[in-house]
Each structure stands twice: as C-alpha cells, then as structure tokens.
Structure 1
Amino acid sequence: MHPILVIVFLPLLAAIVAGLGNRMLGNVVAKSITTGALFVSAALSWPIFISYLGHGAEATVVPVMKWVASGALTFDWALRVDALTAVMLVVITSVSALVHLYSWGYMAEDTDQPRFFAYLSLFTFAMLMLVTADNLVQMFFGWEGVGLASYLLIGFWFKKPSANAAAIKAFVVNRVGDLGFMLGIFGTFLVFQTTSIPEILAAAPAMKGVSHITFLGMRLDTMTILCLLLFVGAMGKSAQLGLHTWLPDAMEGPTPVSALIHAATMVTAGVFMVCRLSPMFEAAPVALSFVTFIGAATCLFAATVGTTQWDIKRVIAYSTCSQLGYMFFAAGVGAYGAAMFHLFTHAFFKALLFLGAGSVIHAMHHEQDMRYYGDLRKHIPITFWAMLAGTLAITGVGIAGVFGFAGFYSKDAIIEAAFASGSEFGRTAFWLGAFAALLTSFYSWRLMFLTFWGKARWADSEHIQHAVHGQHESPDEEHGDTTHANVHPHEGTAGYHPHESPWSMLVPLVLLSIGAIFAGYVFHHAFLEDPEFWNGAIAWNEHIMHAMHEVPTWVKLTATVVMLIGLGLAWLAYGRQSSLPGKTAEQLGPVYRFLYNKWYFDELYNFLFVRPAFWLGRQFWKRGDEGLIDRFGPDGAAWAVEKGAVGARLAQSGNLTTYALVMLLGLVAAISWVLV
C-alpha cells in the first residue's frame, strides 16, 4: 500500500469513528484516535517531502477507484504526489497534528470534545483531498469539503449567536468565490475536453493568445477568462480583497480552529490552486497582472487594518490576510517558488502565533483585548519566548548571508521578485509590499509590547473580574469554552496570577518555534533556487529567478530597513510613550476610524447586498408566497372547500319535501338545457 493512501484516509477514518462514537467512546478515546491518526499521517508525510529534496523525484499517481464515465467526461479518483503535493502534505499534517495535541489542553473542559476532534480530522481530510487531486473535479470535492468543515468548526459553539453568524458569513462569502471556481472548471473542460490536471497543463502553453470567445459583443482571450474565473475561487477561499470579510469573523471559533484555518489549510488553498495551475496562468498575462494587483492591494489593506485592532486574534487574522496577499503577488509576477516558500514558512510562524495567542487568552481567563494585558512575560515565559520567535519570523529578522528567521528568506524573496519582474504591476507590488512589511513589523511588535511588556492592566478586564470574584462560569463558558486559569476568589485583581498553559499546549508551541526559526534557513535553497526540486510541479520562471539575484543592494535591504522602522515606531508608541497612540488616533480622526472600521467593507456590503437581499426575500415571502401562492393556492382552495361545505350543510336538511323540490328543479333544468 502506498503511504499516500494512509496519509489521506486515516484522518477520515478517525473522524468517522470519533464522530459516530462520540460520547459512547468518551473524550480520551476520541481524542487519542484522531490525534494519533494525524501524527501517523505527519510521520509518513515528512519522508515523502524529504525524498524530493536534492534530486526531485518523479510525480506518482495512485489510483483509488473508477469514478465517472459519461460521454467525453471521464475521470477516476486518484491521488497525485509530486513536489508541490509533498510541500502541502507536511504543512497540513504537521500543523493539524500539533493543533490536535494543543486542543487536548485548550478544550479540556468542553462538553463536546469528540465532536470537535472529529471536525478537525474531517477538515484535514478535505484539505488533503484538495492537494492530492489529479483532476479538477476531485480538487473541487476537496475545495467544498474544506468549506463545509470550516462552517462546522467556526460555528462549533452553536449556542453563541456571533459564532453562528460568523459560520454563515464564511459559508456564504465562499459560495460567491466557489461560483467563479465552478465556472472556471466548466470552461476549462469545454476548452480542453478533459478535467485531468496534467493533460490541461500540458496543453495550456499552446493556447496562449490563439483562442478567443465572444461575450456581450466583446472578443476576449479564452485563457484570460478561464484563469480569472478560477482566481475568483482563490479570492474567496484565501480571503483576498473583496471576498475577505469572512476571515476576521472566523475568530469566533475556538482558537485551535483559528490556527488550523488561518495557518496551513483553508486559506492557503487558493495559493496552492494558482501554483498548481501555474502553466495556465502563464498563458494568460492579463490574469497574472490581476492576481498581482489583488495580492498587493490585499497586502496593504489588511496591514493597515491590523495596526488599529485591539483583539489579539483579530490582529493575527488580518496579518494572515496580509501575508496571503504577499503569496498572491509573488505568484502574479511569476515567482511561484517564492509564493510556495512563503506558504511553507508562514504555516509555522502563523500557527505558532495563533496558538501562542490561545495560550495568552487561556492565562487571562479568555480576555482577548490587548489593552487589558501587560507584563505577561514574567508569568508565562514559555508562551512569551514562543511568540517572540513567531514575531521575529513574521517580521523577517535576520542577517543576510549569516542566518535569518523563516520570514527573512521567504518575504524578502517575494519583495525582490516583485521588483525584479520589471512590470508596472510588479513595481507597484514592490512598493506596496515594502510599506506593508513596515506595518507588519509595527502591528506585530505592538502586539508584543501590549501583551508582554509594560505594567499589568488586568484590573479593568471584565473577564478577570469574573475570575477574581470567584464566578465559576465566564461569558465564553456557557458557549462551550470552559478552560480557565486557576483563580483565588476574593483576592482582588492584585492577587490574580496568570499561569502557564498545560504541557499539551506548550509542546506544540516549542515544536512550531523550531519551524519558525529554522524553516527558512534550511529549505530556502530548494524552494527558491533548485528547479530540480520542483521537477515540473510548478511553472519555473528562470528569468525572474535570475533577475532576483541582480536587483540593487537597496532593494535587498528594503525589507530589513522597514522592519527596523516598524519596530522603532512600535517601541516608541507602546514601549516608551504610552500616551502617543491615543494622541495620534485623535489627530488622525477620520483616517483612524476608517482603518479601525476595516475600510467600512462590512457596512458597504450590508448596504449593497445584505439589506437588498433581505428586502427581496421579504417581498417574495409576504407578497409572493403568502400573498399570491398561498392565497390562491392551498389557502384559497381550503377557503373554497370550507365555504362549499357550509352551503352543502344547509342543503342537507333531512326534509323529504325539500329533497323532492331540489330533484324537480334539477329535472326541469336538465330538460330546459336539452330543449335550448
């Protein structure tokens, strides 16, 4: 049996057993089965990934079963393993396994643990199906499976209205993107007469500029239309500007869910899809320019919003959105290796930051507002050092030619690739990416200073007050999150002592810290400079990879310089002069409110789409359904039957002379009808 079969289907089997067994199995058994399955999958994934390093093994296709044969539409269910798949396998299984382990501590008091762990494993299976797809239909199956599982996980605390609203929002927004993805798949089959990914990619270069379609009287390039439709799907799944509004709200789910969705799985599906279909995008330069523009715009948008948020999880969520923008504009300028490298390194440090944030929230009795933190480095030192490693990785700290944290290699490569592309969109992406890197450094160090340095500001926290006064149940506990810090009732906030998380939560932080520190240094050569590693799994743009080495020195130093500027500004505002942020926000006024309210996208969409949709629904409901269909349909028929019954009841008097009179009148009427 090929290892890929075990890697993919073991999480599904674990999800079925834990989900159906549920409370009959008990918490420990359900957690052990799902967590053990993910660690087995991760252990089998790393050797596959390592086998591609250095010499680049050939792609392998493992058949599972016959699937569909309908006229020209034929495809089997098969699992494809190449370098691109191998990268995604280690990212998905490693992060998911550590999230499973972390959840042992974080969800320790939850009453529905088997269901939670079953959802986690189901989510992982769907993502594995997506990245091992050998045809577009199978990829779509995994794509929709991830969407379903994310809905279940975000809305896990279904008694909490905000969690339900966030789950529905994620589901609906992703359906918008998925419509574009479906149309792209339909169009691709129409053009290439196959859904096989290898066959499509082999035929794609010959289609560049030679095929056109007519739409609304316009003559449009076929490959451009197909790639734009496919990219709309990527925009939804990877939360790019316009279809991003679901991502911050997804924080309503438990923190392990945030780490799993935002770090390595769902949000990277769009980046993976673009890189997997990169030969198609190479045949559509206009589509690539659009990808570059959207990626750069998302990068800037999310970074600006992240600088104003106070919720620790929302800051990291907007950071995810921004980093995905980097990945997309790297793909847009043709640096697919750099895009995948940043996806790889981002998985480690972003999962680390989210799980570290969960450890902070656990210590602070579910308080998520950073304004009520401070001085935590002395109380939760392991969490502090782990989050410091993640912050050093995301901000790209390093010394060129010596050593750097993970983001130092991947983010710098993307910024250099954008400049080296020489295109107008590429240069624009370079400047926007550089400014976003400055903001990334600022909001990342802002988070660290507010959380771990300065004086303790716990006294004003409602959640801490709940803990201090011995109220056993916090506001979140009634919705399922009953993990809490040890408290001493009636001591007052001065006697409250945050404590370190249990080892089941700390071990994943330590392991992810190793990835955040060394992943860039160890693997940058294979991802960025070795086409044999990829061995045709992505389109390798030799020109841009060579041009990256020839960029001016100031370009190479740009990321480091802006990182230092962001660090300096954060230290000045939140480490030295604590009154400066308030004064700045007051002076900026409308600009600050614009950023704090997330560019008013939610309000705009509510005005343009949500309210009109609800109004239209009410019209169909009140006037169409009740006023027309029910009135003249079932309600009208029932009324007619009722009135007819009243008349019939009057006629059925039981008087023999009355019946004789009616019969006589009927006979006269019948004779008259015949005579006339």
Structure 2
Amino acid sequence: MNYASYIALIPLLPLAGFVILGLFGKKPFARSAGVIGTLLIFISTLLALYTAYQYFFVAGKQHGIYPAVKALEFTWLQFSPGLSIDMGLLIDPASVMMLVVVTFVSLMVHIFSIGYMKGEERLSTYYSFLGLFTFSMLGLVLSTNIFQIYIFWELVGVSSFLLIGFYYDRPAAVAAAKKAFIVTRFADLGFLIGILILAFYSGTLDFGTLIQRLTEPGSSALAQLKGYGFIGIPVFSWALALLFIGGAGKSAMFPLHIWLPDAMEGPTPVSALIHAATMVVAGVYLVARLYPVFVLDVPVLQLITWVGVISAFLAAVIACTQTDIKRVLAYSTISQIGYMLFALGLAGYTASLFHLFTHAFFKSLLFLGAGAVIHYIHTNEMGNMGGLRKYMPVTHITFLIACMAIAGIPPFAGFFSKEEILLTAWQNNQPVYYIALLTSGITAFYMFRLYFSIFWNKPLAHNHNHHGEGPWSMKFPLLVLALAAVVVGFIPFAHYISAGQQAAEHTIPISFSIAPVAMALAGIALAYMLYYKQNERPQKLATAMGGLYRLVRQKFYFDELYLFVTKKIIFNGIAKPAAWIDKHLVDGLMNGLGRATTGISERIKAWQSGSVQSYALYFFGGIVALAAVFIYWWTG
C-alpha cells in the first residue's frame, strides 16, 4: 500500500486550519471558523480511518503481520555525512491506532464546540489553536525518530499553553497555562538529556535503527551504556529514567501531576481533547514506542510500575473529595493514565494501549457531557446541581454510559481494557494488583458520586431553561461517543496491536472478573447510599474522618509543598543570593571598570586639547626627558 500519496494530509489539514483561521479568521472567516476547522479535521478523520482499514484489513489480512512502514522520509538538517536530523511519517499498529483516536476525538470536540462556543468573540482563534494542537499530536505519533518526536512534543506543550490560557483576561487561566508550561518544561529537560544519551551511544536517532542496535545480540552500544555508570547507576538506566521523566511530566504522573487539575481553566471541549486523545497520553505513547528498549532494564520498569500505581491510587482518592466536576474528571484522568503506565511496567504492552484506546472515547464523552452541564447550569460546582436528568435526557444517558465504562462494568468498553490491565498485574506483581483493584472500586465510587450529584440528589434550584440542553452540534458528539464507549471494547485489540508484529489472541477468564466487578458494584452502591438523595451522611462521614479528610481535600498539600520549595528555597535560598551576586559583584565589577575608564579618560583627554602651544610644550618636554635618560645612560 502506497501511504505516501496521502498520509501527510492527515496532519497537514489541521495545520492548514491553524494557518488559515489564525491569519484570516477575524474578517473573511469570522462566522464560519467552526465550519472550516471542523471540515478540515473531518477529512483528516476519514483519511485516518481509511489508513487503518488499509493497514489492518488489506495489507495485513493475509498473514496477520503488521510491519512498520516509513510512508515518508526526508533529510531536514544535514550536519555531516553520518549525522543528520530526518523527518518522516511512520506507519505501524500503534501509530495507526493513535491516528484514529486523535482525529476522531478531535472531530467530536470540533463539532461540540460549534454549539458550546457560539458567540465567543475569539472563535477563529479558538479553532486555530485546536488545529495546531491536533497537528502537533498527529506529528508526534507519526514521528520516525526520537528527535522529531521531541520537536512535536514541545509543540504540543506550546499548543496546550495557548488553549489552557485561552481566556487570557482571567488571572486563573493565565496562571494555569504558565503552571502547565513550566512544570512540563522541567520534565522535558530530562527527556532531552535522555534522547542525547541514547543517540550518542547508539549513533542514530531513528526509532527502528535505535531499537535494533540496542536489542540485537551482543550489542556493543548496549554494552557501553551498561558499562558506564554515574553514582553507581548504569548510564542506560539513567537515559531510560530521564526519558520516562519527560513522559511522566507530560502525562501528569506523581509527583509532576499538579499542573493537570489547574488546566481545567481552559474551555471545557479543550479539556476533552487534552485528557482523552492528546498530551496526557503522550507519555504512555513514548514508553510504548521505545518499549523493546525499556524491557531491557528491569529497575526502570519497576520505576514506571510504581509511579503509575501510586499516581492511580492517589488521584482516585483525591477525586473523592473534589466538588468541581472538571477537577474530578482531571484527577480521574491522572488515575487512568497511571493504569496505562503501570501496565507497561509489568509487560502489559497490549493491555496498556487497549486502555488508552477505550479511555479516549469514554473520557472525552465525560468531559463533553460535563461541558453540556456547565453550558446549561453555568457553574462547575456539584453543590449547585441536582435533578438534571429531567432537563438534560441525552446528556444524562450518555454520561451514565461513560460512568459505567470507566467504572469497569460489563459490557462497556472500560471493562475489557481494565480487566486486561488487572490480569497483567495479577500475573506479574500481586501487590500492584491489589492496589489497582482497590483503586478500581474507588473509581466507581467517585464517578457515581459525580453522576448522582449532577443528575439526581436534589431538585434543581432554578430551571435554566432559556436555551435547553443545547443544539444538536452538542448532542451529536455525545451520542456518537456513547456508542463508541459501548462497542469498542468488543474489538479484538490484541489481534491488531501487540508487542511484536505478529497478531496475538488474548482471553480473560470469566472467574477472574468477579472480584473487579464486585469492587465496582460496591463503589457504586456506596455512592448511591451517600449521594442518590440529599442527606447529611456525606458531611457526617467527612467530619468523622477529620484531619484525614482535610488532607485529601487539600490534595495532600502538593501545591503548597511546591510553593514552599519554590518561594522559600529556590527564590529565597538560591534566586535572591544569585541576584545579589549578579547585581553587586558581576554588575558592580562591570560598572567599576566603566567608571575607572571614564575617570582615566577625563584625566587624559586634556592631552588632546587642540592647542599648538601645549603640543609644543609636550614635545620639548619629551626631548628634555629623552636627553636626561640618554645622559644618565652614557655617564653610568
């Protein structure tokens, strides 16, 4: 199959939307910005689906083998005959799956935004930024080499900064955008160092060549990486750990998770795109892309496992106490990404990517459903909601489907992918399994706490019926994503995407699912008891837990800890002394040299007075001085 004839259009069409709407959106396309942006991403989605069909059902149909194909490659920067940075488009099972996920979810977000953002003054700018965001993520997943993925990695960061801070007149949005950008920059520094280490010892930036050189029997590059060390840790482990730090920052893993809840300050459809199909799954995709290299280092896999499971558990616990519906979903995302990462750490490549795939649909459905609720009620606070099922029937049903999916209730999509991850944990690390099992029960609890608080609990205080549930541009994506959240779990994912090129088969024993489903049902039952009808039990429970509840409600004081380290240690202990040295020593030395030069020039500039008499006096004075020196030398 000749993918080169069209594959570049998939990322370039959103880029064209960014350029056209960014440059000409104010006047020629001010009213039609949403239609133009949606049409371009619609074409990209069709091409992505066509690519998936050709790759999985035509090219790989005969033998069930799905090799990596470079659909396009060219040299971008040539440094020397053996060193260059190439750009290209890589087609393999993981990248094709991500093409479908990114374009499809982005299309749903574009359509939903037509109704949600109606009347927005900067609508063309909004759709322009959406196009840049989608282009960045598509470029990332299609990258053929590790430096190209870094370029688009940073472009994703820039795009998120623009969208999170879209409401630039709100101080909270500006602060959230800066927070996201700064936190991920620290992590990306580790990513860049890891890239340079691996590229230096392997002699290549290309993914395929890099993996081949490090995994081949008797690899000299691998021997060098493992032979050298720093503070007792092999350079190979350092390189992979630094790469993972970059991924952990982008995917908001503990302890770099603090930026993601604040990122909710952007428009709600943006949250759906960031959390479901772009940015936060980039870290998972990075580890999966270099998975054959990561499996060569057990300590780093253990690091990935425990960072993932700790993130999943802590975020789930915090979500139980939050009252802003978007923040509940934000912590839910952190928890679900944690599942994907610890699955990778436990050799669950297929399980991790399967959950990434299903999560994209039900999490984008949750965020768009939350957007519909906010659009109707004009608040994010659960305490101001209740009884909305009567007024928002489409949102109610679709949101319930998404909650069932993320809770792991069969036959919804999340059940199948989460069971794969739990089975992987049971087979490889049972302590992790039990933590993950407990986390799955907590997930069901906080999601149905959210569901009951929004749609049941108590009658709505005021009927905001002036615009109804929203236009069909908002309802249609909810219905499509709800359908996807029901059916995509039945896809034989392992047959198409596995750690090797060969198709695989994988089944889960029915008996294994008893405990996870029972935990989910217990979580739902507890949420029903506490939040189905308005009562005092939640408040009494919070009061009984005392300081523990306050600790969790304050998100374990991670933000306060970072502020303390930043302001008290970095600013006061490092930045202020450095500023004093810069001002008094560095600047003082330079200013002193300048003043000395000025003083000397003031004293000697009289020598160039322009007076002939003065010059004659200096001339004869010089002759006399030379004569005296000569006489002294002659007589001595």
TM over 0.5: yes
Alpha-carbon distance in structure 2 between the residues aligned to 1:298 and 1:635: 54
Of 360, 382, 393, the residue aligned with 2:394 is: 382
The DSSP-based 3-state class of the residue aligned with 1:28 is: coil
Residue 535 (structure 2) pairs with residue 578 (structure 1): yes
Alpha-carbon distance in structure 2 between the residues aligned to 1:34 and 1:232: 34
The DSSP-based 3-state class of the residue aligned with 2:195 is: helix
Of 74, 90, 107, the residue aligned with 1:65 is: 74
Alpha-carbon distance in structure 1 between the residues aligned to 2:599 and 2:262: 52
| 1:392–1:216 Cα change, 3 Å | closer
1:615-658 Cα offsets, whole Å, 9 max, x none, are 3334444x23443444443597379759987x999x99x9x9xx
1:321-370 Cα offsets, whole Å, 9 max, x none, are 000001011111111111011000000000000011011001012x1110
Partner of 2:471: 502
Give 1:253 shift: 0.8
Partner of 2:172: 162
Partner of 2:39: 36
The DSSP-based 3-state class of the residue aligned with 1:296 is: helix
Residue 145 (structure 2) pairs with residue 135 (structure 1): yes
Partner of 1:406: 413
Residue 523 (structure 2) pairs with residue 598 (structure 1): no
Partner of 2:633: none
Alpha-carbon distance in structure 2 between the residues aligned to 1:287 and 1:207: 21
Alpha-carbon distance in structure 2 between the residues aligned to 1:5 and 1:121: 15
Alpha-carbon distance in structure 2 between the residues aligned to 1:247 and 1:296: 18
Q: Which segments of 5 or more consecutive residues in structure 2 lack a partner in the other structure?
A: 630-636
Alpha-carbon distance in structure 2 between the residues aligned to 1:538 and 1:310: 45
| 1:449–1:498 Cα change, 3 Å | farther
Alpha-carbon distance in structure 2 between the residues aligned to 1:539 and 1:146: 32
Alpha-carbon distance in structure 2 between the residues aligned to 1:494 and 1:96: 32
Alpha-carbon distance in structure 2 between the residues aligned to 1:127 and 1:115: 19
Contact kept? 1:406, 1:518, Cα under 8 Å: yes
Cα RMSD over matched residues? Answer: 2.9
Residue 524 (structure 2) pairs with residue 567 (structure 1): yes
Partner of 1:268: 281
1:40-439 aligned within 5 A:
40-51=43-54, 52-53=56-57, 55-71=64-80, 72-205=82-215, 206=217, 210-211=223-224, 212-216=226-230, 218=232, 220-365=233-378, 367-398=379-410, 404-421=411-428, 426-439=429-442
| 1:429–1:592 Cα change, 3 Å | same
User: If the length of structure 1 is used for normalisation, what is the TM-score?
Assistant: 0.84
Partner of 1:449: 452
Give 1:100 shift: 1.1
User: If the length of structure 2 is used for normalisation, what is the TM-score?
Assistant: 0.89
Aligned partner of 1:68: which letter?
L
Per chain length, whose mean CA-contact separation is higher, i.e. which structure has more relative contact order (CA < 8 Å, sep 6+)? Answer: 1
Contact kept? 2:228, 2:235, Cα under 8 Å: no
Residue 630 (structure 2) pairs with residue 617 (structure 1): no
Aligned partner of 2:414: which letter?
G
Partner of 1:489: none
Contact kept? 1:449, 1:574, Cα under 8 Å: yes
The DSSP-based 3-state class of the residue aligned with 1:25 is: coil
Contact kept? 1:278, 1:539, Cα under 8 Å: no
| 1:7–1:38 Cα change, 3 Å | same
Give 1:121 shift: 0.6
Aligned length: 612
Contact kept? 1:207, 1:223, Cα under 8 Å: no
Alpha-carbon distance in structure 1 between the residues aligned to 2:6 and 2:18: 19
Give 1:494 shift: 6.8
Alpha-carbon distance in structure 2 between the residues aligned to 1:495 and 1:245: 34
1:182-209 Cα offsets, whole Å, 9 max, x none, are 1221111122111111112223333688
| 1:599–1:666 Cα change, 3 Å | farther
Of 526, 534, 541, the residue aligned with 2:497 is: 534
Aligned partner of 2:293: which letter?
M
Alpha-carbon distance in structure 2 between the residues aligned to 1:96 and 1:202: 34
Alpha-carbon distance in structure 2 between the residues aligned to 1:452 and 1:255: 19
Of 20, 28, 52, the residue aligned with 1:25 is: 28
Partner of 1:10: 13
| 1:38–1:496 Cα change, 3 Å | closer
Partner of 2:489: 520
Contact kept? 2:377, 2:464, Cα under 8 Å: no
The DSSP-based 3-state class of the residue aligned with 2:25 is: helix
Q: Which segments of 5 or more consecutive residues in structure 1 lack a partner in the other structure?
A: 399-403, 459-492
Which is further off, 562-571 or 189-198?
189-198
The DSSP-based 3-state class of the residue aligned with 2:252 is: coil
Which is further off, 383-392 or 632-641?
632-641
The DSSP-based 3-state class of the residue aligned with 1:61 is: strand
Q: Percent identity, aligned pairs only?
A: 37
Alpha-carbon distance in structure 1 between the residues aligned to 2:47 and 2:24: 26
Contact kept? 1:303, 1:322, Cα under 8 Å: yes
Contact kept? 1:376, 1:451, Cα under 8 Å: yes
Partner of 1:475: none
Contact kept? 2:180, 2:259, Cα under 8 Å: yes
1:81-104 Cα offsets, whole Å, 9 max, x none, are 111111000000001111111111
Alpha-carbon distance in structure 2 between the residues aligned to 1:118 and 1:337: 34
Give 1:308 shift: 0.3
Which is further off, 317-326 or 93-102?
93-102
The DSSP-based 3-state class of the residue aligned with 1:80 is: strand
Of 572, 594, 603, the residue aligned with 1:637 is: 594
Aligned partner of 1:144: which letter?
E
Partner of 2:634: none
